[in-house]
């Protein structure tokens, strides 16, 4: 009896797997496939939108000014210099009660640290509005934006829409420019309220 059961099960599996399967087109794995990038869709269920409140403290145990606002999703843009044209850059906002900073990651992982540059010229533009120009410094591994300039950016965040950022450093050895878009930064005001608690 066992000798009949195994062949019977095997033949049922073969028939089931082979009979109603749709044919697949063979693709050349070496042929490039175009992929259309889709913007991140933020659900309205999250009151903070694209933002989250995190903590610097970690294992240090220092709770003074330890909470900060950052983007919950990766923001991607491009950067170019004398040797690289339109390579990927990941952008992270670090905003706490005393500072408003941008952290840039070339290739998505290499942190842009202070080099021979002293300033970044930054242009921020909210869709149809006039561009806002200012300078900021990278004194460590992030670009520190002065309070009056940060307030203007926060006003743009609270208006929503698309906000375009362009940055150019004044490096003598490796001038580099960065560009990225923040799409629908709603929820920032709610994140500020959580930060203040």
Q: What confidence score (pLDDT) does residue 191 get?
A: 93
Residue 163 has pLDDT above 70, yes or no: yes
Q: For residue range 43-60, list pLDDT tens digits in order.
A: 334 789 999 999 876 545
Q: What confidence score (pLDDT) does residue 21 get?
A: 40
Backbone phi and psi for residue 55, each to the nearest 5 degrees, phi listed first: -130, 135
pTM confidence score: 0.72
Q: What confidence score (pLDDT) does residue 118 get?
A: 75
Q: Which residue has the higher pLDDT, 44 or 164?
A: 164
Residue 9 pLDDT grade (very low, low, confident, very high; cuts 50, 70, 90): low
Q: What one-character-per-residue DSSP string does the chain give?
A: -HHHHHHHHHHHHHHHHHHSPPP-----TTS-------PPPPPTTSTTTTEEEEES-TTS---TT-EEEEESS-EEEEEE-SS-SSEEEEEEEEE-SS-EEEEEEETTTEE----S---EEEEEEETTSPPEEEEEEESSSSEEEPHHHHHHHHHHHHH-SEEEEEEEE--SS---EEEEEEE--TTHHHHHHHHH-
């Amino acid at each position: 009896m066992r000798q009949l059961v195994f062949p019977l099960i095997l033949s049922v599996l073969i028939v089931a797997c082979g009979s109603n399967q749709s044919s697949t087109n063979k693709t050349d794995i070496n042929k490039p496939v175009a992929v259309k990038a889709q913007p991140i869709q933020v659900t309205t269920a999250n009151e903070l939108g694209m933002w989250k409140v995190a903590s610097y403290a970690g294992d240090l145990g220092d709770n003074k000014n330890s909470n900060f606002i950052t983007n919950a999703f990766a923001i991607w843009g491009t950067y170019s210099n004398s040797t690289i044209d339109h390579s990927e850059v990941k952008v992270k906002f670090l905003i706490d009660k005393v500072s408003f900073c941008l952290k840039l990651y070339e290739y998505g992982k290499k942190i842009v640290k202070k080099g021979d540059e002293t300033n970044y010229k930054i242009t921020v533009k909210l869709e149809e509005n006039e561009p806002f120009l200012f300078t900021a410094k990278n004194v460590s591994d992030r670009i520190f934006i002065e309070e009056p300039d940060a307030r203007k950016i926060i006003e743009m965040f609270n208006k929503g829409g698309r906000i375009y950022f362009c940055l150019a450093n004044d490096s003598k050895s490796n001038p580099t420019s960065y560009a990225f878009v923040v799409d629908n930064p709603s929820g920032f005001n709610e994140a500020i309220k959580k930060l203040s608690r």
